[in-house]
């Protein structure tokens, strides 16, 4: 399960170090010195490296002094368009308990070099404030800003030395960055031996350079701004960033990534072992759960079902202390507590599963993985926060299983999509080992749509439409609507199905089955009404082969693409639609069968006439996740073809006129 | 209590609603915060366990309830607003509200207690309780609340909210909260909004006025109720079993359909009388006093006016130059603190900083116009028709525009937003905030809408004009060629002015220049598949005084569908006049079109050689009281000529007229989908 919990990791370690160091912040005076502005920048009309932007960062610097717990930021932005003037509205959020934003200065420089200083006082906006917690923002707006202006501002983030300073550089933002200069002056006191870094997305040849005094400096140029595209990889994976971390003097220095993960995996394994070290409780529970003569997989399934019966607190709203007290919810110190209390958080559930599986004689381990919707796992980064989700590995019989019993709506054998086809660390006594969770096949995410629609002489189609969601598609819907009642679920699913139909259509759910039986497909039945599905052309009526709107096509309209195309999971769409034609019409022609199989995506459609009914069968299979940007034209062509074939026309002819032909 | 302030409108922002309803509060919790509230609430929960719910909540919980619709997520058991007005003008408001949660979905919308406040409003009490289905009682106090900013489009606003997440907000639970606010309002008007998006069992409003004070009330969307009163100037109104406002897509603003009582107070003390808004004139005078010093020009401002108008002798041209300057050069920035929600910044400051909100822009332009001898007035208005109600003078509204008193020598042949007022003369209404609607025109949502024109010594409510359809024009012409394989290619030219120009300009200007081809692609993708945009350009994008033009070329593979020896082609290649607003079940509330418009498509499609026309779509002529649609297809010299016109003539469609309009759009949808059938001459 994906959770916000993080392990004991480098950042937490840094936090501890900083707490221990307790160095008082030194107030620093804010100078009004500004860097000179080259005349060429004053005259700049557009970004020559990437024309056509509203604005660009000409220069940015970030100078972090870890001893002072302060960061001095300097930002210079060139405005190209009226829309770009919004960059002059600046909001600097901060957590008041840990940091303050001070010494804000700003100014606007016109193309003729004239300068208007920001002379106002920044406002302090309450983003969230609660007892002992203040998340605020300093906001201000720069004066006299027009297209052509350069705006620049600087400020100091002063942290309380008792708190951890986020020692990282995120270079990619929403604007193009022409030049940036980063400095980090480490705090290598008695507790920390050295500062190290990990990076993602830096241009070749650009790395932080360590100076003789331990300071790291990096100059970086021409970093494109992050843009939004449909089906794009996780934002964090596209951002250029550098994260720093300290290594304790007592920990291994210059450790390889393999050794790092091995060490971490071993420590986490010990944590699991400690939690499940209640043999008696596990044996007792297992004896009530499985039979000795059950086949290995049967045993596993029974254990899986047993664990999923335990109340999953992670699937509920966070509870206040009062609510916990009211419900008498106590912490679980070990697996015996879990089995006794019959409630647990997600991680405890997975630990419990490991305990029961091992007690049943299987090899079982906790596996920490990178949830793909957040980031990808880069082992060389040696950052434990990458692998924030956890599942369970079991070897039973001759088979390896990756399971997530804590994913309450997911049946045995299926883990949430973001935990498939990803890498992580399998923990064991001998240490952590990098493993890859296998991809999910398209057959584990199928949408089967069957419809029997009758078209009237006005072209309106009406009739029964059934949808069966299997595997991931069923589980994710069960999860999304788990807080809804029957009426709410019907509305959610009904709205989703209605959106597949042409504009103006309606879909009324009449039955929703197997909601609570997650081993069966989620079955939806209802009545669809599609006005103008058939359109008249004189004595003819034309009906599209598929009444469903293609869901992927819109994402492939743009001819240009910046990023790789990234789907969540492989899936199948299987349609069987019967269209009964109006009595006044006869079927003149049906579209020819078509298929397209350019690779891991495939499509086929066929239409057959049976009396006054046309039966259209359609299959769309996506059996891949990530497609490099070079594949975009082919993928675009494929989905355009799908839409074209879906829209092929069934031609009906008025029976009277047909008789006269 | 309703705060009367903040009339500002972002350019192109469709709707700004203040978060005064429970649903809006819940939405704020969901979207406005960057820190997950659940974790915040969990972290800062209290440790006090000896809880008792107040008697009023217990009484609400134990009452017998009538049957409610099955889909109701919750019920307002009690909505009790107690207002005490003191002789010094201070008002204390005690609000008690109780909900019964019926369905899990209620957690999102009614799982929080919320109250708004600002620098002028003190919150002296705030508590929330839960009575669970099994009778357990839990209490949360103000220290358990989370505070958050309600700034949305503003760079800064002092308006904030406090929210408490109810404990155990589960189906079957009764939740309730109480708060007390004290404030000295800028004007003595308030409202009691007793109809909600869920049914209300009982709502009560009590009013304690000081001796000698008086009040008037106005009932919106509800029959007038007589209060119970006592000798000491104490009044109580009570209503029961109020049904939910059914939420429909594109419905009129909630405030215009929900039942409420508006009220205003008249103090005994003549010194406080200035805060009374008994008539539109009173409001005008009050606002005129508030802004009397706002439009004093600085030398720099005077110099700028001279610079902008140098060499321009035509008075209208001078006005256009100044209007365009304020619309386009003054950046929209809203900073609203206290009275700043109502009072504009001085014109000199707005000019110096080169930014301001709607009232600041109106102030600056008014000061600039004065320099060329043209008088102008503030106009208070709301960006939703129906909010400003002529029957009840009020500060209700969210926007400020202006009325320019046109000199007699100014020709008006291209100025459409004009009202001839017997007292104020020829007024040209103008919105200096909307950068895309030039002088002479008016944003669609402000047309046929009431605005309060504020002169130096009066206020007068005026109905702004509905501009005729030809002022909002779209003319699209296309020259296309169809191949025998069904491929279609060619070019389209669009000429836009009025609203279609403004909408389209906004789309293109909001996109970065490098992303502008995507705007074309997105548009074409609505109608075409498998297309390639081969060329695209826009004309007069920044020149708002000229017609906005679009030119684009594309090729579409397989546009015409083949069926045996037939080629099926939809003559309506691009453009969409249909609407699904009336699809589905019958509506309860009226609909509004954005504005009047006249749009024409003229497409010529050269047909492939070797094909003859087998069928052509029939001519269509659809009409209702608010719109007309005509389309016609004919073939001459192997060219298919498609022509259609679409005209919206009225904007507000009352409920009784909806079936007629539904039928109209059904005909439009069918016509838009209709195809021509071509047959291969020699198969």
Query: pLDDT tens digit string along A185-230?
Result: 887 665 555 777 888 889 999 999 999 988 999 999 999 999 999 9
Residue A15 lies in a domain: no
Strands B376-381 vs B399-405: parallel, antiparallel or unpaired: antiparallel
**Same-domain status, B495 and B484:** yes
Task: Nearest by CB to B675, from A54, A535, A554: name it.
Answer: A535
pLDDT > 70? residue B20: no
Task: Name A212's Cβ contacts closer than 8 Å, sequence gap at least 6.
Answer: none
- The whole-number pLDDT of residue B50 equals 54
Instruction: Kindly state whether residue B489 falls inside one of the protein's structural domains.
Output: yes
Read off the pLDDT band of B21 (50, 70, 90): very low
In chain B, residues with a C-beta closer than 8 Å to the C-beta of A326 are 136, 138, 167-168
Among A56, A99, A94, smallest CA distance to A75 is for: A56
Residue A8 lies in a domain: no
> Which B residues, 415 through 474, put their C-beta within 8 Å of a C-beta on chain A?
435
If asked whether residues B210 and B114 sit together in one domain, one would say: yes
pLDDT of residue B154: 86
pLDDT tens readout for residues B357-384: 999 999 999 999 999 999 999 999 999 9
Residues of A with Cβ-Cβ distance to B37 under 8 angstroms = 128
Structural domain includes residue B15: no
Region B210-230: what's the mean pLDDT?
93
Taking the C-alpha atoms of residue B400 and residue B294, their distance in angstroms, rounded to an integer, is 14
Give percent above pLDDT 70 in chain A.
Answer: 93
Could you tell me the CATH number of the domain that includes residue A551? 2.60.120.1130
**What pTM does this model have?**
0.89
Q: Which two tokens stand for residue B574?
A: 């691009």
Q: In this structure, are B308 and B268 located in the same domain?
A: no
A85 lies in the same domain as A103: yes
pLDDT digits (tens, 9 = 90+) for B225-241: 999 988 899 999 999 99
Residues of chain B neighbouring A506 (CB-CB closer than 8 A): 583-584
Total domains, chain B:
3
- DSSP state for residue B281 in the 8-state scheme: H
pLDDT at B23 over 90: no
pLDDT band at A133 (very low <50, low <70, confident <90, very high): confident
Taking the Cβ of residue A549 and every Cβ of chain B, the question of whether any pair is shorter than 8 Å is answered with: no
A interface mutation test: which of B300, B615, B673, B679 has the most A CBs within 10 A?
B673
- Same structural domain, B299 and B425: yes
Q: What is the pLDDT of residue A163?
A: 62
Q: State whether A511 and A534 are in the same domain.
A: yes
Mean model confidence pLDDT for chain A: 90
Query: pLDDT-derived band of residue B683, with 50, 70 and 90 as boundaries?
Result: low
- Domain boundary among the residues A198, A214, A248 is at A248
Shared-domain flag, residues B512 and B652: yes
Handedness of CA A517, A519, A525, A531 (dihedral sign): positive
Chain A: nearest CA to B49, how far in angstroms?
7
ipTM exceeding 0.85, yes/no: yes
Select from B228, B249, B276 the last residue of a domain: B276
Do the domain assignments include residue A17?
A: no
Mean pLDDT of chain B: 90
Could you tell me if B462 and B474 lie in one domain? Answer: no
Yes or no, beta carbons of A125 and B149 under 8 Å apart: yes
**How would residue A67 be classed by pLDDT, with cut points 50, 70 and 90?**
confident
Tokens at A49, concatenated:
């490296």
Please return the burial class of A480, using the count of CB atoms within 10 Å of its CB with bins 0-12, 13-18 and 19+. Answer: middle
What is the predicted pLDDT for the residue at B34?
A: 34
- Say yes or no: B43 contacts chain A, CB-CB below 8 A: yes
Which among B258, B276, B294 is the end of a domain?
B276
Q: Which of A51, A317, A528 to mutate to test the interface with B (most CBs of B within 10 A)?
A: A317
CB count within 10 Å of CB B354 equals 21
Q: What is the pLDDT of residue B314?
A: 94
Same domain, B486 and B618: yes
Phi-psi region of B558 (alpha: psi -120 to 50; beta: other; left: phi over 0): left
A480 with A628, same domain: the answer is yes
Say what the pLDDT of residue B582 is: 77
Q: Parallel, antiparallel, or unpaired for β A565-566 and A461-469?
A: unpaired
pLDDT tier for residue A104 given thresholds of 50, 70 and 90: very high
C-alpha closest to that of A155 among A168, A140, A166, A165: A140
Q: Tell me if B366 is assigned to some domain.
A: yes
Is the pLDDT at B36 greater than 70, yes or no?
Answer: no
Task: Say what the pLDDT of residue B153 is.
Answer: 81
Let me know whether A240 and A324 are in one domain.
no
> Across residues A608-631, what is the average pLDDT?
96
The pLDDT assigned to B191 comes to 93
B492 found inside a domain: yes
Structural domain boundaries enclosing A632: 443-660
In chain A, positions 452-511, which contact chain B (CB-CB < 8 Å)?
A: 458-459, 483-485, 487-488, 503-506
Same domain flag for A308 and A177 = no
Same domain flag for A224 and A353? no
B384/B479 same-domain check: no
Q: Which CATH number covers residue A65?
A: 2.60.40.3140
Burial class (CB in 10 A: 0-12, 13-18, 19+), A310: buried
Confidence of residue A659 (pLDDT cuts 50, 70, 90): low
Domain count for chain A, please give it: 3
Burial of A140 (0-12, 13-18, 19+ CB in 10 A): buried
- Answer yes or no: is pLDDT of A83 > 90: yes
Could you list the residue range(s) of the whole structural domain that residue B316 is in? 282-467
Please tell me the distance in Å from B207's CA to the nearest CA on chain A. 33
Model confidence at B681, pLDDT cuts 50, 70, 90, reads: confident
pLDDT of residue A417: 96
Evaluate whether residue B7 is within a structural domain: no
In a domain, A566, yes or no: yes
Of the partner residues B165, B529, B533, the one whose CB lies closest to the CB of residue A559? B533
* Residue B313 CA neighbour count, 13 Å, CB half: 0
Residues A134 and A33 grouped into a single domain: yes
Establish if B9 belongs to a structural domain. Answer: no
- Residue A488 and residue A407 in one domain: no
- One domain, residues B552 and B614: yes
Residue A279 in contact with partner chain B when CB distance is under 8 A = no
Would A18 be classed as within a structural domain? Answer: no
Contact A382, A257 (CB under 8 A): yes
A534 and A574 in a common domain: yes
CATH code for the domain in which residue B35 is found = 2.60.40.3140
Mean pLDDT of A571-590: 96
B516 with B485, same domain: the answer is: yes
pLDDT band for A4, please (50, 70, 90 cuts).
very low
- Whether residue B550 has pLDDT greater than 90: yes
**Between B280 and B249, where is the model more confident?**
B280
Domain boundary among B230, B248, B276: B276
- Residue A140: per-residue pLDDT: 97
Q: Are A24 and A161 in contact (CB under 8 A)?
A: yes
pLDDT tens track for B259-279: 999 999 999 887 777 777 789
Clarify whether residues B230 and B169 are in a common domain: yes
Tell me if A83 and B510 make a contact (CB, 8 A cut-off): yes
Query: Is A580 a member of any domain?
Result: yes
Neighbours of A486 (CB within 10 A): 12
Tell me: do A431 and A466 sit in the same domain: no
Q: Does residue A101 share a domain with residue A73?
A: yes
CATH number of the domain encompassing residue A433: 3.10.620.30
User: In this structure, are residues B188 and B277 in contact, taking their beta carbons and an 8 Å threshold?
Assistant: yes
Give the distance from residue B184's alpha carbon to the nearest chain A alpha carbon, in angstroms.
23
Give the dihedral sign, CA B107/B108/B109/B112.
positive
**Which residues, including other chains, have CB under 8 Å from residue A467's CB and lie 6 or more apart?**
A447, A448, A449, A497, A523, A524
Contact B564 A82 (CB under 8 A): no
Last residue of some domain: A438, A471, A487?
A438
Same domain, residue pair B446 and B476: no
Surface-to-core class of residue B349, CB atoms within 10 Å of its CB (0-12 exposed, 13-18 middle, 19+ buried): middle
Whether residue A4 lies inside any domain: the answer is no
Higher local confidence (pLDDT), A395 or B44 = A395
pLDDT band at A166 (very low <50, low <70, confident <90, very high): low
Note the pLDDT tens digit of each residue in B283-329: 999 999 999 999 999 999 999 999 999 999 999 999 999 999 999 99
What is the CB neighbour count within 10 angstroms for residue B682?
6
* Domain annotation covers residue B5: no
The residue out of A189, A218, A248 marking a domain boundary is A248
* A404 inside domain: yes
């Amino acid at each position: 399960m994906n959770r916000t919990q993080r392990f004991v990791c480098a950042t937490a370690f840094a936090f501890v170090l900083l707490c221990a160091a307790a160095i008082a912040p030194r107030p620093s005076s804010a100078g009004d010195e500004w860097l000179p502005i080259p005349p060429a920048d004053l005259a700049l009309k557009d970004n020559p490296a990437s024309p056509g932007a509203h604005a660009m960062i000409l220069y940015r610097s970030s100078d972090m002094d870890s001893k002072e717990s302060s960061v001095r930021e300097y930002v210079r932005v060139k405005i190209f368009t009226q829309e770009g003037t919004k960059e002059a509205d600046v909001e600097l959020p901060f957590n008041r308990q840990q940091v303050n934003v001070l010494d804000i200065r700003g100014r606007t420089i016109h193309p003729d070099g004239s300068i208007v200083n920001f002379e106002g006082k920044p406002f302090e906006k309450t983003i969230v404030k609660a007892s002992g917690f203040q998340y605020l923002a300093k906001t201000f707006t720069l004066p006299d800003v027009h297209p052509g202006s350069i705006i620049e501002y600087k400020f100091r983030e002063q942290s309380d030395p008792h708190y951890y300073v986020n020692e990282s550089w995120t270079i990619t933002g929403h604007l193009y960055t022409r030049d940036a200069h980063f400095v980090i002056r480490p705090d290598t006191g008695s507790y920390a031996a050295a500062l190290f870094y990990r990076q993602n997305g830096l241009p070749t040849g650009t790395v932080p350079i360590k100076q003789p005094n331990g300071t790291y400096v990096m100059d970086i140029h021409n970093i494109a701004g992050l843009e939004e595209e449909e089906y794009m990889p996780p934002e964090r994976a596209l951002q250029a960033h550098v994260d720093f971390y300290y290594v304790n003097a007592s920990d291994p220095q210059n450790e390889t990534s393999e050794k790092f993960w091995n060490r971490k995996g071993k420590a986490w394994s010990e944590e699991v072992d400690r939690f499940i070290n209640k043999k008696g409780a596990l044996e007792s529970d297992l004896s009530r759960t499985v039979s000795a003569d059950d086949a290995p997989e049967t045993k596993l399934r029974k254990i899986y079902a047993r664990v999923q019966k335990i109340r999953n607190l992670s699937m509920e709203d966070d509870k206040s202390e009062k609510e916990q007290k009211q419900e008498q919810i106590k912490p679980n110190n070990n697996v015996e507590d879990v089995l006794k209390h019959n409630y647990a958080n997600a991680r405890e559930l997975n630990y419990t599963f490991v305990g029961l599986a091992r007690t049943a004689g299987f090899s079982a381990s906790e596996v920490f993985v990178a949830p793909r919707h957040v980031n990808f796992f880069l082992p060389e980064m040696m950052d434990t926060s990458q692998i924030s989700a956890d599942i369970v590995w079991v070897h039973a019989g001759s088979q390896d299983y990756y399971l997530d019993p804590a994913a309450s709506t997911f049946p045995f054998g299926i883990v949430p999509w973001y935990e498939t086809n990803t890498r992580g660390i399998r923990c064991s006594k001998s240490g952590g080992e990098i493993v890859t969770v296998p991809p999910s096949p398209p057959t584990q995410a199928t949408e089967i749509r069957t419809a029997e629609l009758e078209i009237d002489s006005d072209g309106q189609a009406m009739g029964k439409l059934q949808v069966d969601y299997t595997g991931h598609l069923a589980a994710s819907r069960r999860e999304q609507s788990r807080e809804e009642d029957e009426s709410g679920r019907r509305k959610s699913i009904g709205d989703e199905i209605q959106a597949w139909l042409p504009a103006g259509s309606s879909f009324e759910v009449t039955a929703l089955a197997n909601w609570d039986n997650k081993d069966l497909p989620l079955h939806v039945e209802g009545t669809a009404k599609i006005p103008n599905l058939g359109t008249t052309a004189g004595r003819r009526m034309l009906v599209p082969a598929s009444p469903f709107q293609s869901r992927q096509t819109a994402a492939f309209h743009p001819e240009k693409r910046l990023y790789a195309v990234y789907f969540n999971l492989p899936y199948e769409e299987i349609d069987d639609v019967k269209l009964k034609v109006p009595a006044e019409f006869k079927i003149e022609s049906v579209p020819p069968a078509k298929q397209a199989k350019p690779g891991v995506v495939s499509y086929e459609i066929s239409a057959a006439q049976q009396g006054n009914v046309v039966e259209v069968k359609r299959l769309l299979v996506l059996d891949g996740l990530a497609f490099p940007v070079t594949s975009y034209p082919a993928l675009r062509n494929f989905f355009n073809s799908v839409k074209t074939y879906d829209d092929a026309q069934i031609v009906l002819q008025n029976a009277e006129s047909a008789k006269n032909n | 209590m309703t705060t009367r302030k903040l009339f500002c409108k972002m350019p192109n922002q469709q709707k700004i609603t203040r978060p005064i309803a429970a649903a809006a509060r819940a939405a704020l919790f969901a979207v406005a915060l960057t820190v997950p509230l659940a974790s915040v609430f969990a972290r800062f929960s209290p440790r006090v366990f000896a809880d008792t719910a107040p008697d009023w909540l217990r009484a609400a919980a134990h009452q017998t309830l009538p049957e409610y619709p099955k889909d109701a997520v919750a019920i307002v058991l009690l909505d009790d607003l107690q207002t005490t007005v003191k002789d010094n003008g201070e008002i204390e408001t005690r609000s008690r509200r109780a909900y019964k949660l019926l369905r899990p979905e209620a957690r999102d919308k009614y799982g929080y207690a919320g109250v708004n406040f600002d620098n002028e409003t003190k919150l002296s009490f705030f508590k929330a309780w839960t009575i669970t289905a099994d009778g357990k009682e839990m209490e949360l106090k103000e220290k358990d609340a989370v505070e958050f900013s309600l700034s949305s489009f503003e760079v800064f606003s002092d308006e904030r909210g406090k929210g408490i997440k109810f404990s155990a907000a589960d189906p079957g639970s009764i939740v309730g909260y109480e708060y007390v606010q004290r404030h000295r309002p800028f004007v003595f008007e308030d409202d009691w909004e007793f109809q909600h998006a869920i049914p209300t069992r009982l709502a009560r409003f009590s009013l304690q006025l000081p001796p000698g004070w008086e009040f008037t009330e106005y009932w919106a969307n509800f029959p007038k109720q007589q209060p119970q009163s006592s000798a000491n100037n104490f009044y109580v109104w009570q209503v029961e079993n109020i049904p939910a406002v059914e939420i429909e897509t594109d419905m009129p603003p909630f405030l215009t359909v929900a039942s409420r009582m508006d009220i205003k107070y008249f103090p005994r003390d003549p010194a406080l009388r200035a805060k009374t808004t008994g008539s539109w004139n009173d409001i005008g005078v009050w606002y005129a006093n508030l802004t009397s010093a706002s439009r004093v020009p600085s030398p720099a401002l005077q110099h700028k006016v001279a610079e902008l108008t140098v060499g321009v002798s035509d008075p209208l041209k001078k006005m256009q130059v100044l209007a365009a300057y304020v619309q386009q050069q003054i950046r929209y920035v809203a900073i609203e603190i206290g009275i700043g929600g109502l009072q504009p910044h001085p014109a000199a400051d707005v000019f110096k900083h080169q930014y301001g909100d709607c009232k600041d822009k109106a102030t600056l332009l008014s000061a600039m116009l004065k320099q060329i001898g043209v008088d102008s007035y503030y106009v208070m208005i709301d960006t939703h028709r129906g909010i400003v109600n002529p029957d009840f003078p009020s500060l209700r509204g969210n926007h400020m525009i202006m009325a320019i008193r046109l000199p007699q020598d100014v020709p008006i042949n291209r100025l459409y937003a004009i009202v001839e007022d017997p007292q104020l003369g020829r007024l040209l209404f103008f919105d200096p905030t909307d950068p895309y609607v030039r002088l002479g025109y008016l944003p669609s949502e402000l047309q046929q809408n009431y605005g309060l024109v504020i002169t130096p010594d009066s206020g007068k409510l005026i109905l702004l004009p509905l501009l005729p359809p030809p002022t909002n024009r779209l003319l699209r012409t296309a020259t296309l060629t169809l191949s025998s394989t069904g491929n279609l290619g060619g070019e389209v030219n669009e000429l836009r002015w009025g609203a279609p120009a403004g909408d389209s300009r906004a789309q293109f200007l909001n996109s970065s220049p490098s992303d502008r081809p995507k705007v074309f692609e997105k548009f074409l993708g609505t109608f075409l598949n498998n297309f390639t945009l081969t060329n695209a350009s826009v004309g007069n994008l920044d020149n708002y005084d000229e017609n906005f033009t679009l030119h684009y070329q594309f090729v579409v593979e397989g546009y015409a569908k083949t069926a045996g020896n037939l080629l099926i082609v939809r003559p309506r290649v691009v453009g969409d006049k249909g609407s699904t607003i009336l699809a589905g079940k019958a509506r309860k509330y009226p609909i509004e079109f954005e504005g009047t418009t006249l749009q024409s498509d003229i497409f010529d499609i050269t047909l492939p050689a070797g094909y003859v026309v087998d069928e052509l779509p029939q001519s269509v002529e659809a009409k209702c009281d608010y719109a007309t649609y005509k389309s016609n297809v004919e073939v001459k010299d192997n060219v298919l000529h498609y022509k259609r016109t679409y005209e919206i003539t009225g904007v507000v469609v009352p409920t009784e007229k909806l079936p007629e309009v539904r039928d109209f759009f059904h005909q439009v949808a069918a016509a838009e989908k209709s195809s021509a059938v071509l047959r291969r001459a020699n198969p």
